[in-house]
Amino acid sequence: EPEVTQTPSHQVTQMGQEVILRCVPISNHLYFYWYRQILGQKVEFLVSFYNNEISEKSEIFDDQFSVERPDGSNFTLKIRSTKLEDSAMYFCATLRGAHQETQYFGPGTRLLVL
């Protein structure tokens, strides 16, 4: 069964550094999402992406964050200058079509900012 994959599984970075989290969606999926989960807290929506542009973003998704799908396969989340509070699990999710189907989640990237 096709799966969403994410790399890296873990990343440790220094405060102020840039990080790029990568997601490979299921091949025929058209809608892409990033979520964040701070340890012990709920899963929070960051951004949705369709047709090579952002569909919606939350208040968390400020100017330090950006997303793109540069090569038509990888879907990336960039944090330009990481802060301590960016430490969290970041999940990518993808959805096939526009008919309210199921979002499939990747295994997540655990980001630790020191």
Residue 70 is a binding residue for another protein (CB under 8 A): no
Q: What CA–CA distance (Å, rounded) separates 41 from 38?
A: 5
Residue 68 is a binding residue for another protein (CB under 8 A): no
Q: Which CB, 19 or 108, lies closer to another protein?
A: 108
Q: What CA–CA distance (Å, rounded) separates 31 from 2?
A: 15
Q: Which CB, 1 or 62, lies closer to another protein?
A: 1
Question: Near another protein by CB under 8 A, which window of 13-21, 59-67, 71-79, 97-105?
Answer: 97-105
3-class DSSP assignment, residue 84: helix
Q: Quote the least distance from Cβ 40 to another protein, whole Å.
A: 9
Q: Which CB, 20 or 89, lies closer to another protein?
A: 89
Q: What CA–CA distance (Å, rounded) separates 106 from 87?
A: 18
Q: Which CB, 80 or 104, lies closer to another protein?
A: 104
> Length of the chain in residues, anyone?
114
Number of other CB atoms surrounding residue 75 within 10 Å: 25
**Residue bearing tokens 């979520």:** 35
Residue 108 is a binding residue for another protein (CB under 8 A): yes
Contacts with 88 (C-beta within 8 Å, 6 or more apart), sequence order: 36, 37, 38, 39, 111
Interface contacts to another protein, rule CB under 8 A:
31, 33, 37, 41-45, 48, 55-56, 89, 91, 93, 95, 98, 100, 102-105, 107-108, 110
